[in-house]
Amino acid sequence: MATSTIKLFTTILFFVFFSQGYSKCSLKDIHVSQAITGLTVKGKPEMNVTIANWCSCAQSNLKLDCRGFQSTKAINPSILNVSGNVCLVNGGKPLLKAAVEFSYAWDTSFSFDPISSSISCN
C-alpha cells in the first residue's frame, strides 16, 4: 500500500512540474486595457490602448481579433498592423514584460481579444 501511494505521489509531482515547465505562459497573460483620453479626433472620442504581457516568457507574433475595427486617427503599423479581422502587435516582435501603447478614435471601443501568439521561454 505504501509503495503504491509513493508511486502515485511521485507521478503526480512529475506531471505538476512537467506541465508547469512547458506551459508557463498563455494568451491569458496578455492584458489589453483601454481608457478614454478625453480628446476627440475628427469628432470621435480618442481611446488609449495598452497591451501588456504579464508572463516572464516572451510572446511574439501576437495577433488580436480586430473584427470591425476602425479609427479616424492613424496608427503606426509597426505597433498595430490591421489586416482584415486580425491585428499584428509590435510588428510581430516579442513582448517581454513590456507594454505597447497606441491610440485610436472611434464612436465605440473595440475589445482587441488576443487570438494567437508564439511563446518563447529561455
Inside any domain, residue 14:
no
Which carries the bigger pLDDT value, residue 4 or residue 83? 83
In a domain, 4, yes or no: no
Residue 83 falls inside a structural domain? yes
Longest dimension (CA), the chain: 75
Range of the domain at 58: 25-120
The domain total for the chain is 1
Within-domain flag for 2: no
Residues 78-110 as b/e (b if ≥16 CB within 10 A, e otherwise) read ebbbbeeeebbbbeeebbeeeebebbbbbeeeb
Give the pLDDT band (50/70/90) at residue 23. Answer: low
96-117 residue pLDDT tens: 877 999 999 999 999 999 999 9
| Domain assignment present for 5 | no
**Residue 12: predicted pLDDT:** 36
Is residue 8 in some structural domain? no
CATH code at 32?
2.60.40
The answer as to whether 16 is a domain residue is no
Q: Confirm whether 76 is domain-assigned.
A: yes
Residues forming a β-bridge with 120: 58
Could you give the CA distance from residue 51 to residue 41 in angstroms, rounded to a whole number?
22
Cell for 27?
494568451
pTM: 0.77
